[in-house]
Structure 1
Amino acid sequence: MQSYPSPERNTAHPGLSPAAQALAARCESRVNELARRMARDDFERLPGYSELPDDVKDVEVAATVRNGLRLFLRRVREPQGRSGDYGLFRERAAQRAEEGMALHTLLRSHSEGIYVLWQALREEATDEESAALIELVDFLLRGHGAVIGAVTETYVEEQATLSAERREHHRGLVRGLLDGSVPPRRAFDELNLEGPCLVIHLDLPLAPGPTPTDVADRRLIRRLQAVVDRGTDTRAVSLLGVEGGQVIVPQPDDDKDGRRISERLHTALGHVGGDGVRLAAVTAATAEDVPDAARTAAEIVRTARGCGRPPGVHLMDDVVLEYHLSRPDESSDRIAALLSPIEDRPDLVDTLRVHLEHRHDRRATARALGLHPNTVDNRIARITELTGLDIVSPRGNALALTALLLRDNAIG
């Protein structure tokens, strides 16, 4: 990180001559005149300065200029003293950052002030005071570096703080929209959203590896955010974490169900989250529909994973039967309990799931699990023996699939 001169560092020239001090002293009577001139005339040439309100120019900017001029003159009188109080410079830098003034405009205003002060010194100097004038210019430029450092440091810090506050406010609005704690219409207005929109649920597998750290998590989230920003409309908003999250984007006219944008996101997110990324998109006709759409999208992903579908883009039409079967009712506990005999055998549960997904193809199941086909046969036989489910029959197949989905919903 770039470092700047410390405001407390003594930048004064150790031996200013009496002639240099006398030349500077003759400018003291011109402080107010120079301040008004800079605030009203010289700075007007700077981009963005003219947009400042007149009272800011006449009061804040003029006062800052007077402070800078008097600080310079005081340091000339007391060359062995501290480099001066940069508190007002810092305060104004923070204000300009909050108001949105560009940093280059702020720094150019300080440089312009140095030039105007140099002109005033030059106008006051006689031919015999050329050496004294050189001393003061050298002294002036030495001190200017510390001022610029203090101003830049404060501006950058304030911008970082404001940016963090905006991001957190944005996340709070999205979170409130999704959980219903913020009125949907207000959230839409502040987020600059319009209906209908697509609510996309992202699910990223947690990669095994070293214990995650806050730094690593923040880096991952920034990468996810960058991918989402590039792959969606510029008006998209999101709430992302290391396990995924939600993206809300205006519904494209040519992509009503969100499959196209989901597939584009899935491809891009694969570079960040690996091969296990899952997405589901659901339409929300109005702001009030967003929370339900978000819950439905998450359920679609959960259902697709529960019935053994491979990672990718999942829409309701892709899992409509499984989604229906996984909705709990009075019979749910009885059906889920059918798998209780193999609850402590994850190898059997996984085999059942993959076998159903591959439509009872023993060889495809073996390839997916890295097993020998005979091992698959033995496991299916053991499942039938323990649960009493004949998964080859239509009824047994439906019961096994429903039990798996209900079990996963209960665990999730």
Structure 2
Amino acid sequence: MDREETLAWLRRISGDLATATLRRLEESLPWYAEMPPARRSSVGLVAQAGITSFIQWYDDPESTPWIAADIFAAAPRELLRSVSLQQTLQLIRVTVEVTEERVAGKGEHLREAILLYSREVAFAAADVYARAAEARGLWDARLEALVVDSILTGETDEELPSRIAALGWHGHGEACVLVGTTPPQFDVDQLRRVARKLGVDVLIGVQGSRLVVVIGRAQPSGRPGEEASAELSFPEIARQLEPGFGDGYLVIGPPVAALVDASQSARAALAGFAVARGWRNAPRPVEADDLLPERALAGDPLARQTLVERIYRPLLAHSADLVATLWSYLDNGRSLEATARELFVHPNTVRYRLKRVSDVIGWDATGPREALILQTALILGSIGPAEVRRRPAPVRRTHATERSH
């Protein structure tokens, strides 16, 4: 047959080719048979469009770019989310096989045309899925930035859990916030790979020179090797992530019960990051609660409240002798003998009371850094809460009141 006769024959059998293709799909591809009727119909539209566009291309090979793109325009957008690229390539292979079987014996040039066109369609499918993945990646990046910003500002709403779920967050346990500097050549993928290796979820936000990472330690799922990762403490996780940050201070906020409460950890981490230079030998990473004195001096109300509620009030509630002993010990340069002389007790009594202080609040007064924390807490606790006293408004004196006086 010449070209015109071949075209006319292809147009006559196009309907039969589409029917045979759908029948072969049901027989050879289990995922197609399990699809809902609406989606199977959409796949059928793609197969029919492919056969029709091949006939048009065979008539005019220069039309390859736009005809190949039109094949996937026939399918609804939801089909890209339900049919993977691998399944699309299987669909193309089955369609080509059915078409080759039907045109066998009609000339080698027709078979070569089918193979050439199937290659163009495969490239077009890869391009469609690549653009869809790129668009999804950009959307995920914008959504992640929005979630991180909501956590930092504390402006959470009812949509935050759904946004977190849309990002594929798998953590259901505690969470915390890590704040540091952004490196000159920031490799976000490397940071995510390290997090996956540790078995934790992360949300990453770049805010100029500041890099914020929200860490979620998921509960063990029972898979082999995952339980050890889940037992890592947040400081240990932060040390593993530390190479992904730039030079400078790295502050980790206190853990919170769930990701929706991460704004509390973020507030402490940001406050600690702002004053970390006040601790000359601060470790990297450093916990925000280890920077409580600097934060309190900078006017952080959360740090002042934490020092009073976690140190001063528990000691005062336990024993006034512990508070007096701690005051004296710190005022006397952490000298046991000088403290004992001031309190008229034996040095062993002072040593015993200091151990009780450590048991009650978890801080050891014999260390220089923890002594600073404890002394700041005693000062703030002794000052007490700030009371705002309103001065009475001045009475406006009129001529009548002046005459009455």
TM-score (norm 1): 0.59
Find the counterpart in structure 2 of residue 334 from structure 1: none
Q: Of 152, 155, 163, which residue of structure 1 is paired with 2:126?
A: 152
Distance 1:298 1:66 in 2: 58
Distance 1:222 1:320 in 2: 33
Question: Is 1:202 paired with 2:179?
Answer: yes
SS in 2 for 1:174: helix
Decide whether the 8 Å contact of 1:191 with 1:237 is kept in 2: no
Decide whether the 8 Å contact of 1:202 with 1:280 is kept in 2: yes
Amino acid across the alignment from 1:188: P
Find the counterpart in structure 1 of residue 53 from structure 2: 71
Find the counterpart in structure 2 of residue 244 from structure 1: 211
Decide whether the 8 Å contact of 2:191 with 2:241 is kept in 1: no
Higher relative contact order (CA 8 A, sep 6+): 1
Distance 1:81 1:237 in 2: 47
Find the counterpart in structure 2 of residue 273 from structure 1: 245
Decide whether the 8 Å contact of 1:221 with 1:240 is kept in 2: no
- Provide Cα deviations, 1:83-124, integer angstroms capped at 9, x if missing partner: 4623322425783673142212101211211111111113xx
Amino acid across the alignment from 2:12: S
SS in 1 for 2:187: helix
Give the drift of 1:296: 0.9
Q: Of 161, 164, 168, which residue of structure 2 is paired with 1:191?
A: 164
Decide whether the 8 Å contact of 2:177 with 2:253 is kept in 1: yes
Amino acid across the alignment from 1:239: G
Decide whether the 8 Å contact of 2:174 with 2:255 is kept in 1: yes
Find the counterpart in structure 2 of residue 347 from structure 1: none
Decide whether the 8 Å contact of 2:176 with 2:234 is kept in 1: no
Give the drift of 1:168: 1.8
Find the counterpart in structure 2 of residue 174 from structure 1: 148
Give the drift of 1:297: 1.8
- Percent of residue pairs identical: 16
Q: Of 3, 6, 9, which residue of structure 2 is paired with 1:26?
A: 9
Find the counterpart in structure 2 of residue 101 from structure 1: 83
Decide whether the 8 Å contact of 1:65 with 1:113 is kept in 2: yes
Decide whether the 8 Å contact of 1:47 with 1:105 is kept in 2: no
Count of matched residue pairs:
294
Decide whether the 8 Å contact of 2:202 with 2:213 is kept in 1: no
Q: Of 304, 307, 312, which residue of structure 1 is paired with 2:276?
A: 304
Question: Is 1:38 paired with 2:21?
Answer: yes
Q: Of 240, 265, 284, which residue of structure 1 is paired with 2:256?
A: 284
Amino acid across the alignment from 2:63: R
SS in 2 for 1:224: helix
Find the counterpart in structure 2 of residue 391 from structure 1: none
For the aligned residues, what is the CA RMSD?
Answer: 3.9
Amino acid across the alignment from 2:214: V
Amino acid across the alignment from 1:325: L
SS in 1 for 2:155: coil
- Name which of structure 1's ranges 64-73 and 191-200 shifts more when overlaid on structure 2: 191-200
Find the counterpart in structure 2 of residue 52 from structure 1: 35
Distance 2:75 2:267 in 1: 45
Distance 2:298 2:103 in 1: 84
Find the counterpart in structure 2 of residue 263 from structure 1: 236
Decide whether the 8 Å contact of 1:278 with 1:313 is kept in 2: yes
Q: Of 190, 211, 221, which residue of structure 1 is paired with 2:188?
A: 221
Distance 1:161 1:92 in 2: 20
Decide whether the 8 Å contact of 1:38 with 1:113 is kept in 2: yes
Give the drift of 1:35: 1.4
Distance 2:289 2:93 in 1: 64
Distance 1:262 1:151 in 2: 46
Q: Of 25, 39, 63, which residue of structure 2 is paired with 1:82?
A: 63
Decide whether the 8 Å contact of 1:279 with 1:314 is kept in 2: yes
- Provide Cα deviations, 1:164-203, integer angstroms capped at 9, x if missing partner: 21232233123223323341x5323442467762322221
SS in 1 for 2:67: coil
Give the drift of 1:243: 2.7
Decide whether the 8 Å contact of 1:48 with 1:101 is kept in 2: no
Distance 1:178 1:93, change over 3 A: farther
Distance 1:164 1:22, change over 3 A: same
Give the drift of 1:150: 1.8
- Provide Cα deviations, 1:255-289, integer angstroms capped at 9, x if missing partner: 9xx9833233324422x336645131312245664
- Provide Cα deviations, 1:9-35, integer angstroms capped at 9, x if missing partner: xxxxxxxx61x6535533433322321
Decide whether the 8 Å contact of 2:178 with 2:212 is kept in 1: yes
The answer for unaligned runs of 5 or more in structure 1 is 1-16, 123-129, 330-358, 360-393, 403-412
Distance 1:75 1:313, change over 3 A: closer
Find the counterpart in structure 2 of residue 140 from structure 1: 114
Q: Of 63, 73, 76, which residue of structure 2 is paired with 1:91?
A: 73
Amino acid across the alignment from 1:31: S
SS in 2 for 1:139: helix
Give the drift of 1:290: 2.6
SS in 1 for 2:38: helix
